[in-house]
Amino acid sequence: MTKLAIIQEAPVFLDKHATIKKAVALVDKAAAQGAQLIVFSEAFIPGYPAWIWRLRPGADFKLSEEIHSRLLDNAVNLKQDELAPLRQAAKKHKVTIVCGIDERDGELSRTTLYNTVVIIGPDGQLLNRHRKLMPTNPERMVWGFGDATGLKVVDTPCGRVGTLLCWESFMPLARYALYAQGIEIYIAPTYDSGDGWIGTMQHIAREAKCWVVGSGYAIKGSDIPEDFPKKAELYPDAQAWVNPGDSVVVAPGGEIVAGPMRNEQGILYADIDSQRTGIAKRALDVTGHYARPDIFQLHVNTQPQSPVKFD
């Protein structure tokens, strides 16, 4: 049995170092309650670019550039090991951490951003980095397209863990690629919310016969800093929920066992047993005895994609 903690808290918006410090404090808090698997939201460090859903495409170009500049300066460069404090917290408490970040490319252009989720093992090592394959709608003006190098399931003391970000969970082939790797705990950090999203989480639990963890993003107007450009116009009500969260934990088969946590910030706990996934697949195993590989086959290109190759 594993104790899971979903951290549904606001970041220190667009402040990388302060948000990492807050994340470490939240790991300390969850670990003190016995959590062994600790999950943050999509783009928790340094925050999801919520403004893209309130700006006018094209018309607010100058404002978009001003805000994007702040995001660029506070995005995480993994090549510079900027998540070291979080890795050290994982090692200190011997916990597995899943965290969404705005990642700044540290290899090629060094200016492209990615919507990334990392898995950190209890030894403090980075087990996986997955970049969102297809940013959604106006997200494409913020993040580049990821490749499939991180489309994998990794072994942890809590079970076999894999991640897809937000609407990647609507991509059946991406889901199938994780199912085929024996996933036991499917983690979906997201900015989405509502009954429809929760229904998707339940569907995946029925389809894959695994645990599904939807880690929601909860933020209010008061969580947006006062010096945010045109805050008074974009977020006039400090008490209004910009996004409600809706973190949820679903057991194999579709039963909700914790949450949804809506219009609330805090930590959602649940006890999960990864061994339940095995017996749950007795009647339905979509990448096993239900797969029909004589008719259907999925090919996944897991090679790193690069616009330049140096010989």
- What angle (nearest 5°) sits at the alpha carbon of residue 69, between those of residues 68 and 73? 115
Catalytic (active site) residue 42: yes
Question: Amino acid letter at 198?
Answer: I
* Contacts for 260-266: CB closer than 8 Å, 24+ residues apart: 260/198, 260/214, 260/216, 261/6, 261/8, 261/216, 261/218, 262/193, 263/218, 264/8, 264/218, 265/8, 265/9, 265/10, 265/218, 266/8, 266/9
Count of beta carbons in the 10 Å neighbourhood of residue 12: 19
Question: DSSP strand E in 193-255: where?
Answer: 211-215, 218-220, 241-250
List 42, 82, 103, 184, catalytic entry: 42
Catalytic one of 99, 158, 166, 210: 166
Q: Is 158 designated active site?
A: no
Q: Are 125 and 114 in contact (CB under 8 A)?
A: no
Neighbours of 28 (CB within 10 A): 12
Q: CA–CA separation, 271 vs 5, rounded Å?
A: 9
Q: Is 136 exposed, middle or buried (0-12, 13-18, 19+ CB in 10 A)?
A: middle
- Set 3, 16, 22, 132: catalytic member: 132
Minimal CA–CA distance to 38: which of 24, 56, 49, 18? 24
Q: Does the annotation count 309 as an active-site position?
A: no
Q: Which residues are catalytic?
A: 42, 132, 166
